[in-house]
Amino acid sequence: MSDETLKTTPLYEAHVAAGARMVPFAGYSMPVQYKDGVLKEHLWTRENAGLFDVSHMGQARLRGVSPLSAFEEVTPGDFIGLKPGKQRYSVLLNRTGGIIDDLMAARPISFDGTGDDGLFVVVNGACKDNDFKVIDDELAGQVRIERLEDRALMALQGPKAAEVLAAHAPQAAAMVFMDARAFSAFGTDVIVSRSGYTGEDGYEISVPASEALRIWNTLLADERVRPIGLGARDSLRLEAGLPLYGHDVDETVSPVEADLAFAVAKKRREARDFPGAARIARELAEGPSRKRVGLIVLEGAPAREGAQIADEAGNVVGVVTSGGFSPSLGKPIAMGFAPPALADVGTRLKVIVRGKAQAAEVAAMPFVPHRYVRKL
Amino acid sequence: MRFTKDHEWVVLEGDVATIGITAYAADQLGDVVFVETPEPGKAVKAGDNLAVVESVKAASDVYAPISGEVIEGNAALGDAPETVNDQPEGAGWFARIKVADPSEVEALMDRAAYEDFLGTL
């Protein structure tokens, strides 16, 4: 894709002015790193607060007579049971139980308690056009998709995120993990969820595109906050054990294989009323043929996407789907697929990097503990 | 010090060439987290893979700028790969090669030519 066809987010000029290295990502020109570099940005987020531009992601509202029950036709989640003010992680499924995309869906009630504003959905940037088409095709006549292309999205992540945001939006301090609220802050209307994709406490903040630059700069004026690029976003989510769509998960992978069975709600397992339910029920009962595992590489180079996984005898048994150097642990980590018999924590495996078999071990995920604030 | 368009540098002392990557290359790579250096005795031709350098972002090959036989790889990079970022044109060297033909080194760019080349990127 040539640069001319790349889209930009409302924060593009701020990234360039801050010395970011811009790369094509999901059809957008996005910052992969700023002047500090990936390692420092990663550690800053783990210790302070990192600000991420995630405006490439797809934001939409699903409205209709009963958008919650309609959304259950394309996902395995319990959305009828989603309480006002809560957010849920889920997956869009195809008819064979493969994952079309993973997403966050919320009912961001306003603090004044006014009305039900439908379902606020955030999907991956690279998948958004297809996702909304799938939802539109499957739920035609039931829900109306209102794409929020006039809104930017930023994530404020890290142990100091809460105190930083509280200075501008005191309401945010009263929220816990996976709460979603719509309110006025920064002199405009915002939709805030206490969630993210780094494993840290933090927020995702949807703001009008026209206000994004001002809010971005307001947050960065706090010395506890630095801008963080996609490079560190990737290493942070890898350490947090969170799969990246298009790498660890794709249309062939089921939620059970992806170790995302928590996204298949109990009542939905019983009802078997979602796309691909037959396969997913079978995998839940009998176990999947492959499973997403975490690996710590015990020697040698980082094992990256595409590296083969072998058993101790050297037989190829799987493949690395994402991997790299863990800045927090100081050693290479990876995710990949392995047969369930070789998926127990502590199992010794090999990863093949440039023809060399290196020792690796199945590790529990997250590699670095989550620090979500579930209780105040 | 001589330079290649692949951003390697060479310093020739007698018939021994020390090879590394330039400050520009180290900056482009970002934080180096792993380096694989060649074993002594390995024969290389100009353009062959000599070493591998991995940053947080990706793995990159380092090519032999000249032909010869590897005398040593920089073992210190095993424990301190960040030296490549800190001192790319010094302690962050990758390998020493006994050169077959010193004129190969002369044919590489001098610093002024390399900086002109960087200006075109």
Which residues on B lie below 8 Å from A332 (Cβ)?
33-34
What is the Cα–Cα distance from A104 to A261, expressed in whole angstroms? Answer: 16
In tens, the pLDDT along A316-335 reads 999 999 999 999 999 999 99
Domain that holds residue B24: 2-119
In tens, the pLDDT along B23-53 reads 999 999 999 999 999 999 999 999 999 999 9
How many Å lie between the alpha carbon of A249 and the closest alpha carbon of chain B?
20
Instruction: Report the CATH number of the A289-363 domain.
Output: 2.40.30.110
**CATH number for the domain harbouring residue B74:** 2.40.50.100
Domain map (residue ranges) of chain A:
1-287, 289-363
Structure tokens at B78: 């095993």
CA-nearest residue to A327 within chain B is B56
Residue A113 has pLDDT above 70, yes or no: no
Q: Which amino acid is at A181?
A: R
CATH fold of A1-287: Gyrase A; domain 2 (3.30.1360)
In tens, the pLDDT along A9-22 reads 999 999 999 999 99
Q: Give the strand order in the sheet containing A225-227.
A: A180-185, A188-193, A202-208, A151-157, A49-53, A225-227
How many Å lie between the alpha carbon of B28 and the closest alpha carbon of chain A?
10
Give the number of domains in chain B: 1
Verify whether the Cβ–Cβ distance A231 to B58 is below 8 Å. no
Query: Predicted confidence band at A46 (pLDDT cuts at 50, 70, 90)?
Result: very high
Angle of helix A38-47 relative to helix A230-239, nearest 10 degrees, comes to: 60
In tens, the pLDDT along A177-231 reads 999 999 999 999 999 999 999 999 999 999 999 999 999 999 999 999 999 999 9
Q: List b or e across A272-291, with b for residues whose CB sees 16 or more CB atoms inside 10 angstroms.
A: eebbbbebbbebeeeebebb
With a CB-CB cutoff of 8 Å, which residues 27-56 of chain B face chain A? 30-31, 33-34, 36, 52, 54-56
Which residues on B lie below 8 Å from A351 (Cβ)?
none
A327: left (phi over 0), alpha (psi -120 to 50) or beta: alpha
Closest CB from A235, A301, A354 relative to B56: A235
Which residues on B lie below 8 Å from A358 (Cβ)?
none
Closest CB from B34, B56, B57 relative to A301: B34
Burial class of residue B40 (count of CB atoms within 10 Å of its CB; 0-12, 13-18, 19+): exposed
